[in-house]
């Protein structure tokens, strides 16, 4: 029996033809009752950038992706335990965090935010990765 499930596997050669990469990756991994979601940006699963130049619109698309990936893994947004958000300009903090906050209202995850000099593609203004759990009904929540 496998110890984990890979969700939405892809190869970077097809995903990023403008770069000389050839890596096998996936969008999320379910390991036991934990779900690790790869950093999500303002690109949909067909590769279309949503929100060119608009950090809030990119954050909205990233959270749509997170929601879908968690559901595919058997979890949901309410079970996120940690977020890490990357922005390329400190001025993007408010629009990005306001958007993420709409999606995570009442969830209370731990959160780390970083300002970085660049992300994987020049048009990406923000990226968010999350860790979530798949609840065990016998544990209950506090």
Q: Give the distance between the most distant pair of CA atoms in the chain.
A: 48
Q: Answer yes or no: is 110 within a domain.
A: yes
Q: Judge contact between 37 and 14, C-beta under 8 A.
A: no
CB 61 within 8 A of CB 43: yes
Q: In this structure, is residue 122 part of a structural domain?
A: yes
Higher pLDDT among residues 21 and 96, named by residue = 96
**DSSP annotation string for 41-52:** -SB-TTS-B-ST
In a domain, 36, yes or no: yes
**For residue 127, what are the β-bridge partners?**
86
What is the bridge-based pairing of β-strands 34-40 and 126-133? antiparallel
In a domain, 45, yes or no: yes
**Residue 140 in domain:** no
In a domain, 141, yes or no: no
Which pLDDT does position 5 carry in this prediction?
83
pLDDT, tens digit (0-9, with 9 covering 90-100), for 7-37: 766 666 676 666 676 676 768 989 999 999 9
CA distance 115 to 85: 9
**Could you give the 3-state DSSP secondary structure of residue 94?**
helix
Domain housing 106:
4-133
* DSSP code for 107: T
For residue 47, name the pLDDT band (cuts at 50, 70, 90): confident
CATH number at residue 18: 3.30.1330.40
Provide the domain count of the chain.
1
pTM: 0.87
């Amino acid at each position: 029996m496998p110890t984990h499930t890979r969700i939405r596997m892809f190869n970077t050669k097809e995903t990023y033809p403008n770069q000389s990469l050839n890596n096998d990756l996936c969008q999320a991994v379910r390991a036991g009752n934990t779900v690790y979601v790869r950093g999500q940006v303002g690109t949909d699963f067909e590769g279309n950038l949503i929100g060119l130049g608009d950090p809030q619109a990119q954050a909205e698309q990233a959270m749509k992706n997170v929601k879908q990936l968690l559901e595919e893994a058997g979890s949901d947004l309410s079970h996120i335990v940690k977020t890490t958000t990357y922005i390329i300009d400190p001025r993007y903090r408010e629009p990005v965090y306001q958007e993420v906050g709409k999606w995570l209202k009442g969830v209370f995850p731990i959160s780390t935010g970083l300002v970085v000099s660049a992300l994987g593609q020049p048009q990406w203004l923000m990226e968010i990765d999350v860790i979530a759990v798949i609840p065990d009904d016998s544990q209950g929540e506090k």
